[in-house]
Structure 1
Amino acid sequence: MPALPLNSQNLPYPDPIHPIIVHFVIAMVFFSFFCDVVGYFTHNNRLFEVSFWNMFVASVAIFLAVIFGQFEAGLANNYEAVQPTLNFHTVMGWSLAALVAAITAWRFVIRNRKPLKIPPAYLGVATFLICLVFLQVYLGSKLFWVYGLHVEPVVEAMKQGALR
């Protein structure tokens, strides 16, 4: 079977899909956290339901984000300087996928047992999750803005042998 032709960004399709899905996941995780915090302090239990469904969808979408991230990282022309950040970003991505799924499962149990209340311990773990998401956003931003993965001039420089 012939290989798909790659475009100027070194991808077989017009634009990277990973960032599109990732930004969706980030927004859903942050909004879920926001709804839980506001719901906790205002005692508005409807926000807890919004929070749960945001985490549920995020827990499915994050696996798609990681899979597309792995695929697109494999297509990127990696050079030596990018490797440590890319490796850490990859490990963090899989770890966050597992953590988001676990927190969603915990959130499901909370929703079934006490739908009108969120325990402070859950909010603490969710705060930790938000901190990890910020770290992952930093790493992803660094891969794009500093190292230029799937950025046309960097892809061209790699093809010409300017980067190693």
Structure 2
Amino acid sequence: MLALQLNSENLPYPDPIHPIIVHFVIAMVLFSFFCDVVGYFAHNVRLLEVGFWNMFVAAIAIFVAIIFGQLEAGLANIYPAVQPTLNFHTVMGWSLGAMVAAITAWRFVIRDRLLRSKRDRNPLKLSPAYLGVATFLVCLVLLQVYLGSKLFWVYGLHVEPVVEAMRQGISP
């Protein structure tokens, strides 16, 4: 049987991959929201197109982030104080994945209507309902950022000194 060689951060690869992908997703969702809001008020179809493509890429990348998050959470040294925050972060991650996918699908329908109306010289814009749901999504993303930051900066998941202390039997 092959045993995984874990490094000083308790990972089989040099650095945690989950935060790298997650920061990409966060940027894409926030930039999509920014483009949609500015495009809505400026009646700029090009910005709405940029907003759509950012959300589309974020919808794909969020599931890659979730997969690496699950893998890295499974390799982390979990102690009792971490468990509630990690559980909430995990549930929120899967929920955000579903929400981003659903909002992207909704945005695809809106984009299709925008493209058709553009051909008819009757430009349509985003609905206020979509912008309201996107605002709620941004708030949930910011909550998820807080939870992830807490797991790293407060609880020290995959932080070398914490991993080393736990290997020596010292519990945080």
Normalising by the smaller structure, the TM-score range is over 0.9
Match of 1:156 in 2: 164
The runs of 5 or more residues in structure 1 that have no matched partner are: none
Is 1:111 the equivalent of 2:111?
A: yes
- The aligned counterpart of 1:130 is 138
Residues 1:16 and 2:16 aligned together: yes
Structure 2: 5+ residue stretches without partners: 116-123
User: Structure 1 runs of 4+ off > 3 angstroms?
Assistant: none
Q: Which has the larger radius of gyration?
A: 2
SS of 1:80 mapped into structure 2: coil
Q: Partner of 1:114: helix, strand, or coil?
A: helix
| Structure 2 counterpart SS, 1:81 | coil
Instruction: Please list the CA deviations of residues 101-155 of structure 1 after superposition, one character each: whole Å capped at 9, or x if unmatched.
Output: 0000000001112344100000000000000000000000000000000000000
Distance 1:79 1:37 in 2: 42
The one-letter code matched in structure 2 to 1:145 is: W
- Partner Cα distance (2:96, 2:169) in 1: 35
Q: Is 1:102 equivalent to 2:88 in the alignment?
A: no
Alpha-carbon distance in 2 for matches of 1:163, 1:89: 22
What amino acid is aligned across from residue 19 of structure 2 in structure 1? P
Instruction: Tell me the amino acid that sits aligned with residue 139 of structure 1.
Output: L
C-alpha distance in structure 2 between counterparts of 1:129 and 1:55, whole Å: 11
- For 1:76 and 1:158, locate their aligned partners in 2 and report how far apart those are by CA, in whole Å: 11
Q: SS of 2:81's equivalent?
A: helix
Aligned runs of 1:42-121 on 2, under 5 Å?
42-115=42-115, 116-121=124-129
Q: Once the two structures are superposed, what CA deviation does each residue of 1:9-52 show, in whole Å capped at 9, x if it has no partner?
A: 00000000000000000000000000000001111110010000
Partner residue of 1:147?
Answer: 155
Alpha-carbon distance in 1 for matches of 2:132, 2:81: 35
Cα distance in 2, alignment partners of residues 79 and 160 from structure 1: 14
In percent, how many aligned pairs have the same letter?
Answer: 83
TM-score by length of 1: 0.98
- Post-superposition CA distance 1:54-86 (Å, at most 9, x none): 000000000000000000000000001000000
